[in-house]
Structure 1
Amino acid sequence: MPRITPNLWFDTEGQEAAEFYVSVFPNSRIKHISYYGEAGPRPAGTVLTVDFVLDGQEYTAINGGPEFTFNEAMSLLINCKDQEEVDHYWNKLGEGGQEGPCGWLKDRYGLSWQVVPAALGELLEDEDQGRAQRAMSAMLGMKKIDVAALHEAADRV
């Protein structure tokens, strides 16, 4: 099967964004930077693309211009093992960004992320539908997901 690489469109901040993302995630690095040449449409020597890896997943950032911007129709999901990981990614990615509901946030570049603890999926799939629904109700009232509060809500009788 061919490899699928998400291509993230930026106006001019593709390299800055890629450098930020690789600073947030372990086992991450910039692989390659390409530049516009004399043919344009941007000035020669301006960054065109940045190929980077976030913990094994490859991405490309392209400085394509202001014509397209990110929206919530596309987001990147971070499956976190616990509250400590949720806090880490929420705090780092949220710097200069915007918090959304239910574990969603937009980073300073406008890219949407879902920061989700493993406990959320476990609670929502609980065989006891009452527990699952109480956890869902609690999650719907949160911005950053709070694992202890989810469990407390699920166990409330």
Structure 2
Amino acid sequence: MLDVKQVSKIYEGNIAYRALTDINLKIDEGEFVGIMGPSGSFLYFRLYMDLDEDKQKFSSIAKMGLTVKELKKVLTRQTAILFFAPIIVALIHGAVALTALSNLFEFNIFKESVMVLGVFLIIQIIYFFIVRFFYTKQIQAVI
């Protein structure tokens, strides 16, 4: 059993960010736990932790002649790497694991595997476009 009481955590940087405030947690043996914060995603959290730094950086670059089109292109690349590098690894790992599982049980699950991994990829792509839109909007507000 895991029993944690009154846990707090503050990340220091340019701006102090309170990640946890007086958290109590009790997990019994055999329980499966997933934890999600208010941001809903590590990727979203990661981008917005760097937002102030990126605003300063792109504001300075804009003074040297960065256009909105170039800004969008740079932010799309930056966000795509953050979103899709881990997903590509996960899809390859999932495909290998599902192939091994299929061979182990001598049961063809190729069609189901492609469908599950495909749906996962589609959801990630939609999420990418949503996050990229709002992140780009935040950066453009200071330029």
Name the TM tier (shorter chain).
under 0.3
Higher relative contact order (CA 8 A, sep 6+): 2
Normalization by structure 2: what TM-score? Answer: 0.26
Between Structure 1 and Structure 2, the one with more strand by share is 1
Between Structure 1 and Structure 2, the one with more helix by share is 2
